[in-house]
A and B are shown apart, each in its own frame.
Chain A
Amino acid sequence: MSEAVREAQKKGRPVIRNVDFGDITYRGYYKQPPSAIVSILHRVSGAGLFLFLPFLLYLFQQSLLSEDTFKHFAGVVSHPLSKIIILGLSWAYLHHFTAGIRHLFMDNHIALDKDDSQKTARWVLTISLALTVLVALKLFGVF
């Protein structure tokens, strides 16, 4: 390394290097902006929905096949463990849905700049969580 480069680093020039998984999770070197959180959760929620596809199709089939299987479906769904899974999947669906709509806005060059995109990312997180709370209240019989 030349003397000039070493000098520049002393003056606090930003160090550009690859960011690994540990840096953004347990080491906490980097704080993720809302848009990054929305982005990774969009992927996680999509993958989760994919993994639970057989469970969802099974429930769909049970609910439609006959009166008897409908009762069986209602029994499965009323089990607390199923309710927790369904709540998780509801969040995944709602997050994927709202984050997808944010994508459609950005495709049309709406809210593309730094500040606006963080604002819409916060909206996505807030709206999807608020709707999930509503689903939770309905699922556990509050209303």
Chain B
Amino acid sequence: MQGFDTKKNIGQRRLVVGAHYGMRDWLAQRLTGILMAVFTIVLLVSFLSGQNFTYEGWAGLFARQWFKLFTAVTFFGMFYHVWVGIRDIWMDYIKSVGLRLTLQSLTVLWLLACAAWTVQILWSV
């Protein structure tokens, strides 16, 4: 663990979980949330400042390399955000460990597939 200091690991500073996963996912949920909010605003501004909703205009937006990468990174962030949220739902409501592990595993696999699908969609333009 980085920056781990046994002298600070006492009293109120005591680590109650080993892997810091609570803090990491809490922070990831915020950072990916902000990323998606920024993307939403950029997309809406580009879209609303354009003329009629045509294929040329829409595809032209996604044809640019920087916008492809921006969209891809936002979607990857979104899939991580979805993972944290859906995992919380499974942890809250699914009491059976076996079923919960199955659902969590399927969620990860499904989101990985969605990430691959996103790449395919973006790089087909």
- Chain A residues in the interface with B (C-beta under 8 A): 43, 46-47, 50, 53-54, 57, 60-61, 63-67, 70, 97, 100-101, 103-104, 107
- On chain B, the number of residues with a Cβ less than 8 Å from chain A's Cβ atoms is 21
Known A64-B124, A70-B59; further 18 A-B contacts with Cβ < 8 A: A46-B82, A46-B86, A50-B82, A57-B117, A57-B118, A57-B121, A61-B117, A61-B120, A61-B121, A61-B124, A64-B122, A65-B124, A66-B55, A97-B37, A100-B37, A103-B30, A104-B30, A104-B33
Q: Which of B58, B89, B121 contacts A43 (CB 8 A)?
A: B89
B125 at interface, CB cutoff 8 A: yes
In contact, B89 and A64 (Cβ under 8 angstroms): no
Q: Which residues of B contact A107 (CB under 8 A)?
A: 30
In contact, A64 and B62 (Cβ under 8 angstroms): yes
> How does the 8 Å CB contact mask read for B74-109 relative to A, with 1 for contact and 0 for none?
000000001001100100000000000000000000
Q: Which residues of B contact A104 (CB under 8 A)?
A: 30, 33-34
Q: Which of B37, B55, B89, B114 contacts A53 (CB 8 A)?
A: B114
- Secondary structure of the A side of the interface? helix
Q: What are 10 residue pairs bridging A and B, where the CB atoms are less than 8 Å apart in the complex?
A: A50-B85, A57-B114, A57-B117, A57-B121, A61-B120, A64-B59, A66-B55, A97-B40, A100-B37, A103-B30
Q: Which residue of A lies closest to B88 (CB)?
A: A43
In contact, A60 and B37 (Cβ under 8 angstroms): no
Q: Which of A50, A54, A63 contacts B58 (CB 8 A)?
A: A63
